[in-house]
Amino acid sequence: MTQAPERSDMLHDPKYRFGSEDAVFHRQGGYFLPADEPLVLFRGKDVGTLVALDAYRRFMEHVSVNADTPHARAVARAHADSITERIATIKVFQLEHPERTGLGCHTCPPGVAPHDIAGHLETLMPEVAETTTPSAV
């Protein structure tokens, strides 16, 4: 397996390597993300991911209604729809794998990671809990 080269100027999240050249490919667009564009990775096991993605979804929902051009509204709608799917997928993962879900690590000491991920999600994001229950997804 080829190791990615060490890069002191790496703009991607330094905790991860994204392939042998740190290149990330946009499948739908058919292009690689620019090497000088910062990138962050939210993992499905981290309960904070849902908070961050929900904030992004809410912003895109706002832009999809309030942007000044039809194109901007359409792009924002597409982003809101795609992030809504990711939220639903991550929520199901967290509900099905509570032993792997926590605040950034699955080895957090007692009292740091939620013991009841379903209750945590409902308290954290009640509107998402209503629309992304495992039976609804």
Domain ranges across the chain: 1-41, 47-131
1-50 pLDDT, tens digit per residue, is: 444 444 434 455 566 666 667 778 888 888 888 888 888 888 888 888 98
pLDDT at 111 over 60: no
pLDDT at 115 over 80: no
DSSP codes joined into one string, 28-61: TTTEEPPTTS-B----TTBHHHHHHHHHHHHHHH
pLDDT at 137 over 60: no
Question: What is the model's pTM?
Answer: 0.67
Question: Looking at residues 96-124, what average pLDDT do you find?
Answer: 63
